[in-house]
Amino acid sequence: MLTPVHLQYVSSQLSWTLTSDKEQITQASYQVQFSCSDTFDKLLWDSQTVSDMSSVCVPYGGPPLPPGEEICWRVRVIDNAGEESGWSETAQFINGLAPGDWQARFITPDTDEDAAQSAGKLLRRTFSLDGEVARAIVYVTALGLYELHINGVRVGEDLLTPGWTEYNKRLLHQSYDVTPLLRKGDNAVGAMLGAGWYKGDLAGWIGRRNIYGRHTALLMQMTVRLTDGREVCVFSDADWRCSDGPVLYAELYHGESYDARLARAGWNTADYDDVGWTPVRVMEHTTDTVTPQDGPTVRRQEVLPVQSLICTPAGENVLDFGQNIAGWVRFRVNGQAGQRVVLRHAEVLDRDGLFYTANMRSARNEIVYTLKGDGEEVFEPHFTFQGFRYVQVVEFPQTIEPEQFEAVVIHSAMERTGWFSCSDERLNQLHHNILWGLKGNFVDVCTDCPQRDERLGWTGDAQVFARTATYLMDTRIFFQKWLRDLRAAQYENGGVPFVVPDVLSGQFPPGDVISNADPVTGWGDAAVINPWTVYVAYGDKGLLAECYESMKAWVEYIRTLATDGLLWNTGFQLGDWVALDAKEGSYYGATATDLIATAYYAHVTRLLSRAAHVLGNEEDASHYAALRTDIGAAYADEFFSRTGRLVSPTQTAHILSLAFDLTPEAFKPRIVKDLLSLLDASNGHLTTGFLGTPYFCQVLADNGCLREAYELLLKDDYPSWLYQITKGATTVWEHWDGIKPDGSMWSADMNSFNHYAYGSVGEFLYRVIAGIDTDPEQVGYRKLVIRPRPGGGLTHASAAVMTPYGRAESSWRIDGSEHFRLNVTVPHNTTAAVTLPDGAQHVVGSGRYDFTCTLSH
């Protein structure tokens, strides 16, 4: 049976996948229908039958969709054997409001003094409906964070809404169908507001707060259609009333203090008596920046039980959840009014087994709950989250029972798309840690870390991890949202800030490790690398087109900085950040920064040229191809001796020269040999930082050194990826020596145990070990490349990737010493080019296949 499933509408592009019990299936034609009703009696658009294979990122071709409406769409297809599918299940989404559609006003419960406070405030109003409700949709956002309630029920499952964007230019609103929550007669709507990213503490080490504004505010508009056809609108306006509530204090970094005795029972229902509540203040604030949610929202994803209850040598009671996460603790407690629960959070215990929080810097990560004392009370915080594995129970009114606590894992709601396993458990743990690095750091914005007073969208980290992220989860719209913020934050001259959203520009105090300098290589390059990576992994040409001018502006900006427009040897650089070849106590790796900067400049110029070609802009394509050639020639002149020695004798210099195709052909053997010598000189260990590490194994594998790539990957003594695993890591560390071999720690001023940058090696597990990739010309896995490269003594490895076309699998096993067996699954509407380790090649259509060959040693 042929069925289109998994319908996705993203920014006027449609995707679906085909399921069928047959093999060798391609799509011959499709038909798409859009309507405002699930009966499809009145159509907004009917594509009619289109003879075309496209099933991924198909442009929507109808008239603009009506704002604010619930949109239904469906698709049916005919395959290459002539089989017709029925209509797919109907997919639905709410098309958010356009800026001009807002009649609601921003309303604030805050007084002037509240700018310095971080309490949660309550707002409410009642309204009456004199008819049965046919349909109700609410559109809502806030300055700060909000939780919306209707008639006593929390609306939706989204957390930390409206999320974090470049607020001055883009504030997202969410839309919910709330039909079941309303009723004929009296109704109430209530909201709780918190400080969040908008006005709370950010970039704690430079002590910023009120970055976007001094007061929290709500913007809400609800359209209720009654069964008799009348429409009622409820807005945030001067008729609302407000009050303090039980959230005494909530800050993203510092935690939450909640006094349950101050909870206003029934505050979000119509019967509640709000005497004593005061009128809200209508706030002048534009709605021009308010735009519909365009990324995944943050949600509760998993719940983890306590693994063990530890009493440390200092007598601290510590819960171990067995996994470093981002989220919070939910607990149940019984006690008397006024008694307290106090929790602190940590990622690791120190070498003496003590609770260790020094690396959180100023982030307090503390939960204080005061009981109201009437039976069992259940609590989880509202406007904060923590990065932790261990929780110290500082105060608790009862004997601590592990069952009373659970860890709630939160992150942006994305579907998992990558699975990997092999015969080496340490590598499986590494994969696990990389995946959890993503989970812990894709909390609305791709952050460096989720625990200390930082948690910022560092562009360099996001850039090096992007391809790995696209293997692990469906990050397409996550990056869409973040790239829109990147573009909003981009300076007029094309420069890209260190972090997006940008809360750092011009903020570094004198003497800070980072100067107030212009944008830097490896970080600003996210403007080009991330949209390109999304295009490669998902075939999203729409996003590439959206980002094109921004990509170009970044390259043009570098051109103005570069000497003769070719060698970027000016200004401050972060370089090969935290590489081990740095001077004692320094963060800056030893690789010459002009070499790194020029290498990246060449790399992104090539990607820009390719993007121009994909978008049909051949003039730019050849212009930037020529520029790339010139940069390459200048690079060779400047950084290679006449006989092919690289001026910067570091691993990273050699890696980048090979990875970005900057090594003249004649010098390649020498550069590869020199890289191996450098590796030898450090006893087979890496000394690379953020910019060299991601490409290390890949470069070795692609240059005839597969054995050495595996040796490097499988090292488990310090420093190496697996060293962390021998130290019990459950996520990827910021530093190779976060915990040193003697058990002491790297300096607490910068020592995160959940930093995904070095997890960028995940790509190697999928692309080289299991051998799954997209064809570079037929991106988004339109054509698959299956090319496993076994080694490292592994006896089997398998990976599955949920591509935009469906599930692709590559699974191999070595029987005896040399019999190699490969099982491959190719999704419908694609083909795969399979290359076996003996060099044999096969091109196959959708289906499951077994291949065998003999391995030569």
Nearer to ligand BGC, 208 or 715 (CB): 208
Nearer to ligand BGC, 424 or 485 (CB): 485
SS3 letters for 1-25? CCEEEEEEEECCEEEEEEECCCCCC
Nearer to ligand BGC, 15 or 490 (CB): 490
Residue 342, sorted as left (phi over 0), alpha (psi -120 to 50) or beta, turns out to be beta
User: Closest approach of Cβ 747 to ligand BGC, in Å?
Assistant: 12
Residue span binding ligand BGC (CB under 6 A) among the ranges 176-184, 186-194, 333-341, 453-461: 453-461
Q: Which of 528, 574, 729, 826 is in the footprint of ligand BGC by CB under 6 A?
A: 574
* 454 scored as a contact of ligand BGC (CB under 6 A): yes
Residue 164: phi and psi, rounded to 5, are: -115, 120
* 409 scored as a contact of ligand BGC (CB under 6 A): no
Query: What is the CA angle 159-500-611, rounded to 5?
Result: 110
Terminal Cα distance for the chain, rounded: 45
User: Closest approach of Cβ 207 to ligand BGC, in Å?
Assistant: 15
CB 17 within 8 A of CB 54: no
Nearer to ligand BGC, 158 or 461 (CB): 461
Residue span binding ligand BGC (CB under 6 A) among the ranges 10-18, 181-189, 456-464, 817-825: 456-464
Owner of token pair 């198909």: 58
CB 790 within 8 A of CB 810: no
Nearer to ligand BGC, 18 or 456 (CB): 456
Which has the closest alpha carbon to 422: 803, 707, 693, 771?
771
- The one catalytic residue in 166, 251, 366, 734 is 734
Binding to ligand BGC (CB under 6 A) within 461-500 occurs at 461
Measured from each CB, the residue nearest to ligand BGC is: 448
Q: Which two tokens stand for residue 714?
A: 């499988």
Q: How far apart are CA 451 and CA 449, in angstroms?
A: 6
* 525 scored as a contact of ligand BGC (CB under 6 A): no
Nearer to ligand BGC, 448 or 576 (CB): 448
Binding to ligand BGC (CB under 6 A) within 308-327 occurs at none
User: Closest approach of Cβ 206 to ligand BGC, in Å?
Assistant: 11
Nearer to ligand BGC, 203 or 567 (CB): 203
Nearer to ligand BGC, 34 or 758 (CB): 758
* 116 scored as a contact of ligand BGC (CB under 6 A): no
Residue span binding ligand BGC (CB under 6 A) among the ranges 227-235, 452-460, 471-479, 705-713: 452-460
* 448 scored as a contact of ligand BGC (CB under 6 A): yes
Q: How far apart are CA 651 and CA 319, in angstroms?
A: 41
CB 718 within 8 A of CB 740: yes
Strands (E), 514-649: none
Strands (E), 398-513: 405-412, 418-422, 442-443, 445-446
Q: How far apart are CA 784 and CA 640, in angstroms?
A: 37
Q: Which of 321, 442, 535, 577 is in the footprint of ligand BGC by CB under 6 A?
A: 577
Strands (E), 252-357: 255-259, 278-279, 281-283, 290-292, 298-305, 308-311, 317-333, 340-346, 348-349, 355-356
User: Closest approach of Cβ 533 to ligand BGC, in Å?
Assistant: 18
Report which secondary-structure segment, H or E, holds 217.
strand 217-226
Which has the closest alpha carbon to 609: 596, 631, 634, 626?
626
User: Closest approach of Cβ 578 to ligand BGC, in Å?
Assistant: 8
CB 477 within 8 A of CB 292: no
User: Closest approach of Cβ 752 to ligand BGC, in Å?
Assistant: 6
Nearer to ligand BGC, 514 or 840 (CB): 514
Residue 673's contacts (CB-CB under 8 Å, 6 or more residues apart) are: none
Give the ranges where 562-617 is alpha helix by DSSP (H). 593-614
Residue count at the site for ligand BGC (CB under 6 A)? Answer: 11
Which has the closest alpha carbon to 137: 73, 229, 64, 231?
231
**Can 147 be counted among the known catalytic residues?**
no
Q: How far apart are CA 618 and CA 624, in angstroms?
A: 10
Q: How far apart are CA 500 and CA 842, in angstroms?
A: 44
Binding to ligand BGC (CB under 6 A) within 742-781 occurs at 750, 755
Q: Which of 514, 626, 681, 748 is in the footprint of ligand BGC by CB under 6 A?
A: 514
Q: What is the DSSP letter of 506?
A: T
**Can 256 be counted among the known catalytic residues?**
no
User: Closest approach of Cβ 733 to ligand BGC, in Å?
Assistant: 11
* 460 scored as a contact of ligand BGC (CB under 6 A): yes
User: Closest approach of Cβ 538 to ligand BGC, in Å?
Assistant: 25
> How many other β-carbons are positioned within 10 Å of the β-carbon of residue 465?
31
Binding to ligand BGC (CB under 6 A) within 363-392 occurs at none
User: Closest approach of Cβ 468 to ligand BGC, in Å?
Assistant: 15
Q: How far apart are CA 645 and CA 668, in angstroms?
A: 10
User: Closest approach of Cβ 446 to ligand BGC, in Å?
Assistant: 11
* 733 scored as a contact of ligand BGC (CB under 6 A): no
User: Closest approach of Cβ 746 to ligand BGC, in Å?
Assistant: 13
Half-sphere exposure for 610 (CA within 13 Å, toward CB): 18
Residue span binding ligand BGC (CB under 6 A) among the ranges 168-176, 193-201, 395-403, 448-456: 448-456
Residue 192, sorted as left (phi over 0), alpha (psi -120 to 50) or beta, turns out to be beta
Nearer to ligand BGC, 381 or 575 (CB): 575
> How many other β-carbons are positioned within 10 Å of the β-carbon of residue 513?
12
- The one catalytic residue in 166, 366, 454, 763 is 454
Nearer to ligand BGC, 34 or 577 (CB): 577
Binding to ligand BGC (CB under 6 A) within 608-647 occurs at none
Residue span binding ligand BGC (CB under 6 A) among the ranges 386-394, 455-463, 717-725, 805-813: 455-463
- Using CB under 6 A as the criterion, which residues of the chain lie in contact with ligand BGC when the complex forms? 448-449, 454, 458, 460-461, 514, 574, 577, 750, 755
Looking at the annotation, which residues are catalytic? 454, 734
